[in-house]
Amino acid sequence: MKKIFINLKRFDIPRSLGGISFSDSILDYGKNVVDGLRTNYSKNLSELVVFFPEAHLITATKAKKDDDIIAVGCQGVFREDVVFKGNFGAFTTNHTAISMKAIGCQYVLIGHTEERKDKAGILMAAGVEDMVAVSKILNSEVKCAISAGLKILFCVGETMDEMKNQEQVISDQLRVGLENIDLSQVTIAYEPVWAIGPGKTPPDRDYIQKTAQLIKSYVPCDVVYGGGLKLENSEMLASINEIDGGLIGLTRFTGDFGFYPDECIDIIKKYIGEE
């Protein structure tokens, strides 16, 4: 049984505004994606989780059915939360784990390379370069998520500059980011940051397998490939026993590129051998 995660980033933004959504109306975006994925999705998955931009979480959770394999997740939570008879929610501009649970989320994405880059950039603006500090902030987010009852997809991975020290980088991200965490609620996504983006060469099978083995030597968690599960690499990734699933972003990378629920189903079916 495999796990599939889908990160929709800001795929809701209409093309007329510079995004990749074909619809100029974003009000039903979450519902439309859930309904689209429900068509012919496979029962041979242990989990199918979609991480939505925050504006679409309510319509997505309302579109879910009680017997759905589809779970809805948010793309992050704040590092602090409501305290009963204490802080009632003074977190302007930030959404807390409890608020996301109240909306109906079941999962949260934490430590994505874009989040790590953002937090590192804030520290750099203060003249501080400290990736361990970034992982400490992420650890606070993970603790809030666990406390709220959310499951976690926790991302780790190395940049081009960090490749020569990959084991140290990833082990530090796991050690600090998941310190004192109930790991039964955590899945790890491996993101080869150096290989993500147009024109970049993805890692080969041996590199991915070696990295998954490394991660599992540090934490007893399922590991999914976070560098982009797509039609072109689905069979290769499926052949790696240490890989327990994948993270899908775009489904089409040329022409009218974007995310298409029917093409997402095609990727999933090819990955699990139902093609």
- The whole-number pLDDT of residue 189 equals 98
- Is residue 257 a contact partner of residue 10, using CB atoms and an 8 Å limit? no
Residue 107 amino acid letter: Y
- SS3 for the chain, per residue? CEEEEEECCCCCCEHHHCCCECCCCCCCHHHHHHHHHHCCCCCCEEEEEEEECHHHHHHHHHHCCCCCCEEEEECCCCCCCCCCCCCCCCCCCCCCHHHHHHHCCCEEEECCHHHHHHHHHHHHHCCCCCHHHHHHHHHHHHHHHHHHCCEEEEEECCCCCCHHHHHHHHHHHHHHHCCCCCHHHEEEEECCHHHCCCCCCCCCHHHHHHHHHHHHHHCCCCEEECCCCCCCCHHHHHCCCCCCEEEECCCECCCCCECCHHHHHHHHHHHCCCC
112 given a catalytic annotation: yes
Largest CA distance in the chain: 54
- The whole-number pLDDT of residue 158 equals 97
In angstroms, how far is the first alpha carbon of the chain from the final one?
16
pTM score:
0.95
Write out residues in the chain with pLDDT < 70, as ranges: 275
Q: How far apart are CA 53 and CA 29, in angstroms?
A: 10
**Per-residue pLDDT tens digits for 32-56:** 899 989 877 777 889 999 999 988 9
Q: How far apart are CA 6 and CA 196, in angstroms?
A: 16
Q: How do beta strands 223-225 and 186-190 pair?
A: parallel
162 given a catalytic annotation: no
- Is residue 61 a contact partner of residue 103, using CB atoms and an 8 Å limit? yes
- The whole-number pLDDT of residue 140 equals 98
Annotated catalytic residue within 47, 56, 112, 115: 112
Domains and CATH numbers, the chain: 2-271 (3.20.20.70)
- Is residue 2 a contact partner of residue 44, using CB atoms and an 8 Å limit? yes
CA-angle at 11, arms to 157 and 104, nearest 5°: 85
Q: How far apart are CA 167 and CA 19, in angstroms?
A: 36
- The whole-number pLDDT of residue 69 equals 85
**Per-residue pLDDT tens digits for 133-179:** 999 999 999 999 999 999 999 999 999 999 999 999 999 999 999 99
- Is residue 3 a contact partner of residue 245, using CB atoms and an 8 Å limit? yes
